Structure 1
Amino acid sequence: MTPQIVGVIFSRADLQRALRMRQPPGLFELRLDRLVNCIDEVKAAIDRLPARFIITARDPREGGANNLSAPRRRALLLQFLPRAAWVDVELRSARLLQSVLRSAEAKNVRKIISFHDFESTPSASRLDKIASDARSLGADVIKVATRTDTFAQFERLLDFFDRPRAAAVAAMGMGKLGRASRLELARRGSVLNYAHLGSPAAPGQVSIQDLRRARGT
């Protein structure tokens, strides 16, 4: 898979910025949990986006907004799935959102199975188990985002990324070394590299211009 820059649409203002972009990223991500209060506006606009998009409705335990229940998140994802290129479901939510994953398979929407740890970077064995479990769920991409406040955490994340996997991997750090980790992992070939369109949506998130410079594009 060719690595892509992903512009995160986190707000109504981000949506308007995305619609005006003359040099869009390879993909956008619609954070439906963040956009739930302007969802009709999003529905009306998405066919005018200048790139294909990922949909996600993040679990509150992994940074999701508005404390959305699993049934509410399921309904949002199924509503937007027919027009999406990708869907992102957290590993911890996969059982509750099985209908979303099945529908994605039927509609040829590619699947990202994700894991977010805002406290630390897990051990190598734990990260390997996460990747194995995600692959068993049919992940086209395994996404891992972890806290990288120390060089030891940073190195664990890089080591995880550098090991061969049965599926493509998107990896990124958050926190004090989040910016450095994202730029380094983009250089190493992380397949999805997330960027903000105005203000960072996660600790350490970088701009599209930063990622383009890091990748030499």
Structure 2
Amino acid sequence: MATRRSPQTRPRRPRVVGVIMTPADLYFALHMSAPPDLFEVRLDHLIKDLTDLEEAIIKLRAPLIVTARHPREGGANKLSARRRAALLRRFLEHASYIDIELRALRELRSIQRQARAQKIGCIISFHDFKQTPSLARLRAKARTAVAAGADIFKVAARTDTHAQLQRLLDFFDEQHVDLAVSAMGIGRLGRVARVEFARRGSILNYAYLGKAQLAGQLSVAQLQRFFRSLHRWCH
């Protein structure tokens, strides 16, 4: 089967990403009249539905990000590195991007190399559901992502307070690494954070399809409307 390719592994404009975590999300995605720029397929959540997923995935009308999330960064079903690698390898032919966590780079290095050989983009991600790390730590994570060959660095952190949100905004605004960055907040100020990062140019902006899975998430339709309004205002 031919692999879907995105136009470039490092996109130049912000994209809306619809997250498929459940069979209901998959059904919703298949029947959207206005699909997002990309779909993220959360394989760790869909391990009981892989056969159905393989049959349906070729019908999705947008390029795909595939990921099997590490259990310590929100992954479902407590999957081992070997199991996550097998899932990624199984669905690699459908991917335009793979997402691998910084903490999983060593154990999934062979998957990253295989993806690179097939000209599949690499998102290297970091998730902290308890806090927003210091600026120094965020900078160090970004540098590690660059050294590891990321096309995009994705960071998601807790934004329950204005101080946490400002720290994440400060990191994003620095843009001191030669790397496309996707940033988002989780928690009480998560919705505000996601809108603000989208406005400032976060390259990937994740949204729910049928039902929100995290505090502060926006729907695909809400983010699409936001970008249309922003485009009209800027032009």
Tell me if both proteins adopt one fold, taking TM over 0.5 as the criterion. Answer: yes
Q: TM-score, normalised by structure 2?
A: 0.91
Query: What residue ranges of structure 1 are gaps of 5+ in the alignment?
Result: none
Q: Please list, as runs of the form range in 1=range in 2, the aligned pairs for 1:135-214 lying within 5 A after superposition.
A: 135-164=146-175, 165-214=177-226
Q: Distance in 1 between matches of 2:215 and 2:93?
A: 31
* Paired letter, 1:194: Y
What's the CA shift for 1:213? 2.9
Q: 1:95-150, CA deviations, whole angstroms, 9 ceiling, x for partnerless residues?
A: 00001100010000000000000000000000000000011110000000000000
1:30 aligns with 2:21: no
* Paired letter, 1:206: L
* Paired letter, 1:191: I
* Paired letter, 1:204: G
What's the CA shift for 1:210? 1.9
Q: Distance in 1 between matches of 2:203 and 2:30?
A: 24
What's the CA shift for 1:201? 2.4
Query: What residue ranges of structure 2 are gaps of 5+ in the alignment?
Result: 1-11
Q: Distance in 1 between matches of 2:170 and 2:225?
A: 23
Secondary structure in 2 matching 1:54: strand
Native 8 Å contact 1:3 1:193 kept in 2: yes
What residue number does 1:48 align with?
59
What's the CA shift for 1:22? 1.1
1:102 aligns with 2:113: yes
Q: Distance in 2 between matches of 1:191 and 1:135?
A: 16
What residue number does 1:113 align with?
124
* Paired letter, 1:28: F
Q: 1:26-50, CA deviations, whole angstroms, 9 ceiling, x for partnerless residues?
A: 0000000001110110011111001
Q: Distance in 2 between matches of 1:202 and 1:116?
A: 13
Native 8 Å contact 1:8 1:201 kept in 2: no
Secondary structure in 1 matching 2:58: helix
Q: Distance in 2 between matches of 1:113 and 1:159?
A: 20
> RMSD across aligned C-alpha pairs, in angstroms?
0.8
Q: TM-score, normalised by structure 1?
A: 0.98
Native 8 Å contact 1:179 1:206 kept in 2: yes
Match 1:85 to one of 88, 92, 96 = 96
Q: Distance in 2 between matches of 1:103 and 1:44?
A: 23
Q: 1:25-76, CA deviations, whole angstroms, 9 ceiling, x for partnerless residues?
A: 0000000000111011001111100111100000000000011101000000
Match 2:142 to one of 117, 131, 138 = 131
Q: Distance in 2 between matches of 1:184 and 1:214?
A: 11
Match 1:76 to one of 69, 76, 87 = 87
* Paired letter, 2:58: D
Secondary structure in 2 matching 1:48: coil
* Paired letter, 2:97: W
Q: Distance in 1 between matches of 2:21 and 2:211?
A: 9
Q: Distance in 2 between matches of 1:138 and 1:194?
A: 22
